[in-house]
Structure 1
């Protein structure tokens, strides 16, 4: 929901580093909220390949034209709706090796687009995690990926002090939202939550397409 607004205000090359900083803060808050539930083995298996892949993806992003970034993010967001439904219809099982392979693929995509939650979420669910354990472990694993993105952006000059401050402001809002939303999410019907997320993904993807058509 936040990414299209940031892209409209700052452009994709600045919006993605802002979201990288904000995502580090947001995932850290989720870890704090569910600290005792983290599955550290699953987190390590996912991160060992995901962290370097995320850094490589972030470097790729910096070499792409802005309109290409807009289109890539828009296509990814919309495509994830049918992909999520396909994954939901298949009762797949994942082990630590699958998490490592998934970490490499998802990590690279995370470096290019804003968030790969629609892919990482089912992967951790297929591993057998649920509720607090799922939320905490997915957040802990994602934290490393977004931190790698942030370091890469800083290394190549995309994460300036101004961008960092904007990321801190956005991240502070996301951190507060993680704790405020906790009780609402726990009482939200699963089907309604899934429909809400589909609508958000499609709306965000279409807005990115619109941004790509602007001069």
Structure 2
């Protein structure tokens, strides 16, 4: 588990997301789906904290505040409605969304269309709600923050700060409904420690990447994430 967590942390530390895509199948096999979700939420808090510490000086706090103003209450609402939604329908919708975001991000970049703080606030509520329902919506936040104009360290740090607030809310709601026993917290801390270590190791990769290469890697992740979600929905 520690080895998988370290690799997942490095992947997330390079492109801003992807740790849950690697870790969730392993967590489900080891602990079952009901425990895997809160374990991943705790691990995600630690993984995002690692990225913030690695890129502390690069955080755009105004963008983070605008996003969190609606994403945090959205996440709380999403967790409360988690059991009321059919998971396969959510996976199908998210898979199609991720695939559509690859050409959409490129279209926005060609036309120099950038999101404002208001856009981040409007989008944050929707993304926060979806994050409360599914394990991760990282591939959604990637094009959102990049369309605001953030790349490399600034993108990684700001996206991580926003995600930290959202996952913190998610864990708090899990605890409120009694879905966070001590052994789940322990497993989440172990997994999260590996993610944090991977985030720091990834810094040495990111500083050597060009912005163009960084964006190509992000597109590749969104494509693979969308296809994996569609495959999961079709099972």
Shared fold (TM-score, shorter chain, > 0.5): yes
Q: 1:82 & 1:8 partners in 2: Cα distance?
A: 30
State the TM-score, normalizing by the size of structure 2.
Answer: 0.79
Q: CA, structure 1 residues 194+133, in 2 after alignment: closer, same or farther (shift >3 Å)?
A: closer
Give the structure 1 partner of residue 8 of structure 2.
none
Q: Trace 1:104-115 onto structure 2 (pairs within 5 A).
A: 104-115=125-136
Contact 1:49 1:100 in 2 (8 A): yes
Deviates more, 1:91-100 or 1:32-41: 91-100
1:52-111 residue CA offsets vs partner (Å, 9 max, x unmatched): 1101111111445xxx33663465246412323323222331111111111101000010
State the TM-score, normalizing by the size of structure 1.
Answer: 0.85
Q: CA, structure 1 residues 195+119, in 2 after alignment: closer, same or farther (shift >3 Å)?
A: closer
Consecutive unaligned residues in structure 1, runs of 5 or more: none
Contact 1:73 1:114 in 2 (8 A): no
Q: Trace 1:1-215 onto structure 2 (pairs within 5 A).
A: 1-64=22-85, 68-69=86-87, 72-73=90-91, 76-77=94-95, 79-91=97-109, 92-187=113-208, 189-190=213-214, 193-194=217-218, 196-198=220-222, 200-202=224-226, 204-205=228-229, 208-209=232-233, 213=235
How many residues end up aligned between the 2 structures?
208
Deviates more, 1:194-203 or 1:110-119: 194-203
Consecutive unaligned residues in structure 2, runs of 5 or more: 1-21
Contact 1:71 1:208 in 2 (8 A): no
Q: 1:195 & 1:35 partners in 2: Cα distance?
A: 25
